[in-house]
Structure 1
């Protein structure tokens, strides 16, 4: 990579770190840049996961007060996403690269539709749920199951995994939005960390890209946590949908 390309990857890491802690679609920024620089998609994806993990660490640290409020839910998110990420990372390395390139845009579009519909679905669920609101602060088995699936997706690709986690928790709990945002960032960390261990051990990585992404994401992740704590929920959902649809369409084209 040239000097300008180094700066582009570093900037992508910084922006992706902010997005990890806010919008939750960090890979939609950094992954296309790596591919545009000529890195093969599967190598770019694995390198992107490893490089953005430090940003998820600093982002989760920035949300540490929120994560302490519901320790059982926090522990469940860590466990389910970590277990799921093992399966996702294995799928990425075992399946032909063409499968990855074909399925990812549609997964992103599906996630964006889910986020856009979340307020309406959440209102319906709350109307249909007989339990008092303060009793829906622990994860039911079905919510735990879908949390594990989010971990699988996070280990496989990860773009939008934070969005998926916010949707799962939004449908299955009455936790405050700031706590959902914190748990979403922690879910990304759990998935990325486990997948990164696997990728470092057995996958081909572009270590220049990894180090540049890591350097940028460390700063961006912590800054994003401070931004995300104050971000308007409606604005956040709108940003998620716009960024996700734009990236998916560009990948399809």
Structure 2
């Protein structure tokens, strides 16, 4: 057996657990795939596409798990689904159409951005009042949030790690007071972005199926286990671990890709 496949499945299983508990699984699978596929520009794009594909079924499973919480959310879906679709399409299209060297140069910035989102998650939650009931926003605020969701969609289609906290923040500002409904909507929009990205990556032949298929299985098992033990795990400890990994990886790729030393 390919030794790399063993490590990739372990990374995917860990990502499934992390996504179920705190989010941030991409910060485990994407760097692992770069190690397996190499650090060329094209390999980086394939690593991104394969990582997205491997974790996508877990996103669908989460959405199914929240199916009862979608009741009474139709008006929020009407506002935010279409910018999620358009942004996700544009972001994933940019990955396959722009020169692969551009994506490689952005790797440390993307990992650092995702890491900082997780680092700032508690502060963002306090500032936006995630889980608290808000008054219905004005039309101007709604359109601002729609535009923001479009940008989140672009980032989600292009890379995607950390989009959850961004969407929870915008949903809080939209007046969604129930955290379970917020998580349901978040999983719906994330599934749309990731699903469109997977479709475009597949159409352009960017997915390494030798690694993707076993990683899908491993991530699904990890997600199931993560959901089962989530109440017994220290969510803050998991989040801090992901942040630490992300900071180390971003520094590594800044030094390596930009040849700082």
Band of TM-score, shorter chain: 0.7 to 0.9
Matched positions, count: 246
Q: Distance in 2 between matches of 1:16 and 1:179?
A: 23
Q: What do residues 190-219 of structure 1 show as CA deviations (whole Å, max 9, x unaligned)? A: 111111111111133211111112112223
Question: CA 1:169 to 1:247, structure 2 compared with 1: closer, same or farther past 3 Å?
Answer: farther
Deviations 1:15-43 (A, max 9, x none): 22233333332211101111111251111
Pick closer, same or farther for the CA change 1:90–1:10 going to 2, 3 Å: same
Counterpart selection for 1:163 from 159, 162, 165:
165
Give 2:202's match in structure 1, choosing from 187, 196, 200. Answer: 200
Report 1 or 2 for greater relative contact order, CA contacts < 8 Å, sequence distance ≥ 6: 1
Q: Higher mean Cα deviation, 72-81 or 82-91?
A: 72-81
Q: Which residue of 2 aligns with 1:129?
A: none
Residue in structure 1 matched with residue 136 of structure 2 by the alignment: 135
Mean alpha-carbon deviation: is it higher for 106-115 or for 86-95? 106-115
Which consecutive residues of structure 2, in runs of 5 or more, have no partner in the other structure? Answer: 256-261
Distance 1:75 1:20 in 2: 26
Query: 1:57-101 deviations in whole A, cap 9, x for unaligned?
Result: 112222223333523334544433222111011111111222112
- How do residues 47-196 of structure 1 correspond to structure 2 at under 5 angstroms? 47-68=50-71, 70-74=73-77, 76-117=79-120, 119-120=122-123, 123=126, 133-135=134-136, 140-196=142-198
CA 1:237–1:192 in structure 2 vs 1: closer, same or farther (change >3 Å)?
A: same
Q: 1:31 corresponds to which residue?
A: 30
Worse-matched range after superposition: 159-168 or 44-53: 159-168
Instruction: Assess, with a 3 A threshold, how the Cα gap between structure 1 residues 119 and 157 changes in structure 2: closer, same or farther.
Output: closer
Aligned partners of 1:61 and 1:222 also within 8 Å:
no
Following TM superposition, by how much is the alpha carbon of 1:160 offset from its aligned partner in structure 2, in angstroms?
2.1
Q: Which residue of 1 aligns with 2:253?
A: 251
What is the aligned partner in structure 2 of residue 217 from structure 1?
A: 219
Tell me the alpha carbon deviations over residues 138-192 of structure 1, each in whole angstroms, 9 at most, x when there is no partner. Answer: 9822112211211111111122222332343345545344443333333321111
Distance 1:20 1:78 in 2: 22
Of 176-185 and 155-164, deviating more is 176-185
Give the Cα–Cα distance (whole angstroms) in 2 for the partners of residues 240 and 186 of structure 1.
23
Q: Provide structure 1 residue ranges, at least 5 long, that are not aligned to the other structure.
A: 127-131
Query: Is residue 27–residue 159 contact of structure 1 (8 Å, CA) maintained in 2?
Result: yes
- Alignment TM-score, normalising by the size of structure 1: 0.79
TM-score by length of 2: 0.77
Is residue 9 from structure 1 mapped to residue 8 from structure 2 by the alignment? yes
